[in-house]
Structure 1
Amino acid sequence: MATLSASPSPNPNPNFRSPTDQTDHDPESLPHMELHPSSDQDPTPTPKSNPNFPAVLPTPPKAIAPAAAAAPSLLHISFNQDHGCFAAGIDHGFRIYNCDPFREIFRRDFDRGGGIGVVEMLFRCNILALVGGGPDPQYPPNKVMIWDDHQSRCIGELSFRSEVRSVRLRRDRIVVVLEQKIFVYNFADLKLLHQIETIANPKGLCAVSQGAGSLVLVCPGLQKGQVRVEHYASKRTKFIMAHDSRIVCFALSQDGQLLATASSKGTLVRIFNTVDGSLLQEVRRGADRAEIYSLAFSSNAQWLAVSSDKGTVHVFSLKINGGSPGIDRSQSASDPVTSPHSSLSFIKGVLPKYFSSEWSVAQFRLVEGSQYIVAFGHQKNTVVILGIDGSFYRCQFDPVNGGEMTQLEYHNFLKPEAAF
């Protein structure tokens, strides 16, 4: 496999600087790789010896290429690992945005082709994983390109026999998801460590823990409704029959000990302990079928957010007793201890389970039918919502009284005037 690099930028941006808002992350632990001289074999990136690893994406240049003057076509959106930033893959490059305060912090426009169908950030560092997409892809859709924006070029690649559905990054691992297989690589040298077979997985469902501990990976199992949990520290595999229907969405808490799942019915969301597979809690999004687009835990695993095609984002209160070590589950007297229940729950033994379900504490209404993903903001009791139409919402919910969330901010990040 020959080495492939993107077209060099005429104005490579070297102005990376040390992080100021990631005190819990050691910059020296982040991978920084350089490519060996090209050959016909796979590139073998190696760790760079410079300890002063640049880790914050720079402010973009004010000059915008003529090709970017029109609103781009959005191919992909995703949050980074701590939900402080998000990436957008467009028809001629990619862009990186900060969530709070909202601003575009970086963009890369490619001269030829340029469609990027997957952009996976590594917290806030200059290393990204890119996969081509759209009608005119920048790279083949069966390759993962490791892009170093400090050097304005690709420094490694991983090639496969079928299209890449998604990529997940940790500081120590690269996880590549295909239709029916998942590959886990060591980040430092791209050595293959593990491969997993799954049921058909066209959405590329996969979640990895981002805490300081060992890797926990969740993916679809080999049966409908089943999820597979890999605990790499203990070398244990756990299979959980989460639903009767096909799994369409799941999310891990940061430490990998809690798992939220949703099926194609889209009515119930279940929360499991990943260690023993036990069901800890079940919450209800609604009574009618819906397509769940995203699930997200808050950083302290006290809240769970859900977005669906019904145009409503829900926030549920989690009551996980004795949660993970290191998760602060303490609550003040004014904090809620339960989610709302149906007023008919007193006859739950007679009526269907629907009437005794736990309902969301807070909601935010959006355009029904549009696709949105959700995450918790860094400010207390805030939620960030991204739409495939380019919409950005930041909202706040009342943890005691619940109800409708308050909209704090709205932007369309695809509009040219939004760039600065």
Structure 2
Amino acid sequence: MESQETAEDSAGHHGVICASFNQDTTSLSIGTKTGYRLFSVTSVDKLDCIHEGAECPDVYIVERLFSSSLVVVVSLSLPRRMNVYHFKKGTEICNYSYSSNILAVRLNRQRLVVCLEESIYIHNIKDMKLLKTLLNTPTNPSGLCALSVNHGNSYLAYPGSATIGEIIVYDANNLNTVTMIPAHDSPLAALTFNASGNKVASASKKGTVIRVFTVPEGQKLFEFRRGMKRYVSISSLSFSADAQFLCASSNTETVHIFKLEQHSPSREVESPTWSAYMGKMFTAASTYLPAQVSDMMNQDRAFATVRLNMCGLKNVTALATIQKLPRLLVASSDGHLYIYNVDPQDGGECVLVQNHRLFETDEDPGEQEEDAESQDVPPQPANPSYAATVALPSTPPSSTTLMGYSEDVGAQKGEVIPEHEFAEGPVCLDDENEFPPVSNQSN
């Protein structure tokens, strides 16, 4: 009971309900009690607020399409309804109501995907028309799913089982299932694609092992161990733009960054040290020990780490190149964006270089201004043990009217998508910055 009160007090104090980075990590979206905010994260020293929307309160999902004016918003007051806005024009493009609470929304330049607990809806983003309904998907109470962002593909990943860690990879462009990847023994907790959509990373609810697979083949490329001492809840996985690094954050104080490199057989000169001898023994032993033990021996540890000055707070992380240097971004439910420098050669402990406050508080205005500049050391949260979560209302609004829907995929049950307002024509996002040209972001 005490922890519940702590969660409510912290949410009320900080005002952050949700946070997400856009597809190329150039902006940050946060949902608040009063609406939502969009920030530019292309500079270390400045955090410019691009837009502040107050169309609806208590926003628990807000997703922006690249650098366009299209933003998708879902409110706790109407958890079944998705609103799509053109925020530069201040107009609503359309809205849809679904048969149960919306748990996640993902979008790229071709598709908009809405995930419910037991179904997924795929829309054409150009006109918002529904293309496909995946009904009776395995129970997915957290709305876990990932959508690739490459212009040439739209792979969708979601859990294939509620009891073990299977990943279904679905082609959202051609509307067919690509493969099923047996990724973990326990249910999935996190999924993400790299920028080109040819790799998918996953973590299970145990939170000890992170794996990377090829797409669409589903072959395992890498296996990383973030820790053996305790199970944790991994909430965020993110590749760097060049897919050389993968970061993972959880409800602990440590963010892990792994380096995706294939280890070639060692050709080093024989060393007489005890550690070298034991290393050779372990390598030899791994060829005949049980698979579980062999896998554990061959797992790679973190290349770089960040130790947050907090524990138990929900956060979203991303790896980005800002002002030509690799950075780790951590948007925390304590209402701050932390920016760290990452050493791409030697790794190790990352250095905090900037701390931005995401919204105003009731503090003295002078203190606000000083804090908004930046701080070298993150402030201590008032409740470091609080795990921030969003509890969706169990009873949907009574105003939602349902109607049957059938399509050529053979949907036999489920009531979906009654209330909607289509845009009069294709969604107009055609100014120069709306759909930026696809470019290689590895430089």
Scaled to the shorter chain, the TM-score interval is 0.7 to 0.9
Q: Secondary structure at the match of 1:378?
A: strand
Q: Secondary structure at the match of 1:407?
A: strand
Q: Is the 8 A contact 1:342 1:357 kept in 2?
A: no
Q: Is the 8 A contact 1:304 1:318 kept in 2?
A: yes
Q: Is the 8 A contact 1:312 1:364 kept in 2?
A: yes
Letter in 1 for 2:25: H
1:62-93 per-residue CA deviation (whole Å, 9 max, x = no partner) reads xxxxxxxx966211100011011110000011
Partner of 1:48: none
C-alpha distance in 2 between matches for 1:382 and 1:213: 27
C-alpha distance in 2 between matches for 1:188 and 1:233: 13
Partner of 2:438: none
Distance 1:342 1:401, change over 3 A: farther
Letter in 2 for 1:347: M
1:233 Cα deviation after fit: 5.5
Q: Is the 8 A contact 1:251 1:259 kept in 2?
A: yes
C-alpha distance in 2 between matches for 1:342 and 1:219: 42
Equivalent of 2:235 in 293, 297, 302? 293
Letter in 1 for 2:328: V
Q: Is the 8 A contact 1:345 1:355 kept in 2?
A: no
Equivalent of 1:382 in 327, 331, 339? 327
Q: Is the 8 A contact 2:47 2:356 kept in 1?
A: no
1:320 Cα deviation after fit: 5.7
Partner of 2:281: 347
> Which structure carries more helix by proportion?
2
Q: Is the 8 A contact 1:71 1:414 kept in 2?
A: no
Structure 1 spans left out of the alignment, 5+ residues: 1-69, 322-340
Q: Secondary structure at the match of 1:347?
A: helix
1:150 Cα deviation after fit: 2.5
1:231-254 per-residue CA deviation (whole Å, 9 max, x = no partner) reads 345644211111000100011011
Matches for 1:111-260 after TM superposition, within 5 Å: 114-133=57-76, 137=77, 140-196=78-134, 197-223=136-162, 224-232=164-172, 235-260=176-201
1:145-167 per-residue CA deviation (whole Å, 9 max, x = no partner) reads 01111332322011111000011
Q: Is the 8 A contact 2:161 2:187 kept in 1?
A: no
C-alpha distance in 2 between matches for 1:228 and 1:396: 35
Matches for 1:327-406 after TM superposition, within 5 Å: 345-348=279-282, 349=285, 352-353=293-294, 354-366=296-308, 367-379=310-322, 380-406=325-351
TM-score of the two chains, using structure 1 as the length reference: 0.72
Distance 1:109 1:184, change over 3 A: closer
Q: Is the 8 A contact 1:344 1:356 kept in 2?
A: no
Letter in 2 for 1:387: S
Structure 2 spans left out of the alignment, 5+ residues: 1-11, 264-274, 362-367, 374-443
1:188 Cα deviation after fit: 2.4
Partner of 1:311: 253
Distance 1:174 1:320, change over 3 A: farther
Q: Secondary structure at the match of 1:346?
A: helix
Q: Is the 8 A contact 1:361 1:399 kept in 2?
A: no
1:105 Cα deviation after fit: 2.0
C-alpha distance in 1 between matches for 2:88 and 2:315: 31
1:104 Cα deviation after fit: 3.2
Greater mean alpha carbon deviation, residues 215-224 or residues 228-237: 228-237
1:308 Cα deviation after fit: 1.2
Equivalent of 2:25 in 67, 80, 83? 83
Q: Secondary structure at the match of 2:128?
A: coil
1:374-413 per-residue CA deviation (whole Å, 9 max, x = no partner) reads 1112233211111111121111122222211111111221
C-alpha distance in 2 between matches for 1:343 and 1:268: 26
Partner of 1:65: none
C-alpha distance in 2 between matches for 1:179 and 1:320: 37
1:84-142 per-residue CA deviation (whole Å, 9 max, x = no partner) reads 1110000011111112324132343537x622111010112211111012xxx3xx110
Letter in 2 for 1:305: C
1:275 Cα deviation after fit: 1.4
Partner of 2:52: 108
1:215 Cα deviation after fit: 1.1
Q: Percentage identity across aligned positions?
A: 30
Q: Secondary structure at the match of 1:103?
A: coil
1:342 Cα deviation after fit: 11
Letter in 2 for 1:364: V
1:171 Cα deviation after fit: 2.1
